[in-house]
Amino acid sequence: MDGAARTRAAGLGLVLLSSVCFGASGPFGKALIEAGLGPLQAVWLRIAVAALVLVPLAAAV
């Protein structure tokens, strides 16, 4: 695989991972709120988890 195709495949992988994280954030947030966290705490935790997953992957690409 040449450089352009590799970059495109990595970008597509990041887009797919991002959409999975976005789609899972609603049910994840609902579960957090039902567990007793406030809405602000739930949103903060959702964003923190997404950053922990996506930042290292983006840095590797």
Output the pLDDT for position 34. 94
Q: 1: which 2 tokens?
A: 């695989």
Distance CA 23, CA 10 (A): 20
Q: Does the reported pTM lie above 0.85?
A: no
Q: Encode pLDDT of 10-29 as tens digits.
A: 889 989 988 997 898 889 88
Q: For residues 29 and 46, is the Cβ–Cβ distance under 8 A?
A: yes
User: Alpha carbon of 49 to those of 2, 5, 56: distances in Å?
Assistant: 33, 29, 12
| Residue 41 reports pLDDT greater than 90 | yes
Output the pLDDT for position 28. 84
Q: 36: which 2 tokens?
A: 């007793």
Q: How confident is the model at residue 54 (pLDDT cuts 50, 70, 90)?
A: confident
